[in-house]
Structure 1
Amino acid sequence: MRYIVFDLETQNIFQEVGSSDPAALDISVATVYDSETDKYTTVLVDDIDSLWPIIEKADALVGYNSNHF
């Protein structure tokens, strides 16, 4: 089974945007670990779309604090 572990960091926090809606936050950086290749990939927000091909091939996704976001 191929799984992807991911973590997203935001540019701001809820208090700064005046909302508890995660959609109000801006992504700063994303890192993924791919169990099939045993590699980590880190991208800044401008290259975030480059992660979709990796994520789409996953059988399972594991995220840090991702249930809330």
Structure 2
Amino acid sequence: MADWGPVVIAVVLFVLLQPGLLFQIPGRGRVIEFGSMQTSGAAIVVHAIIYFGLITILLIAVGVHIYAG
């Protein structure tokens, strides 16, 4: 049986944490901007750190598993 948990979690977090799609930290004019559809180098770094932290918590600490087949 294949464990699809890490794949699903990684894809969902990647889509939701794209800088500028839902929110952007730090924003261009404010600390946080919602739906700006723009990005910066600092926002990419901050979102990468958030992504790494969440994926580490969900996959290692919580242990999300989805079995198919």
**The two structures share one fold, judged by TM-score above 0.5:** no
In our comparison, the structure showing a higher alpha carbon Rg is: 2
* Structure (1 or 2) with the greater helix fraction: 2
| TM-score, L = length of structure 2 | 0.31
More strand by share: 1
TM-score normalised over the length of structure 1 = 0.31
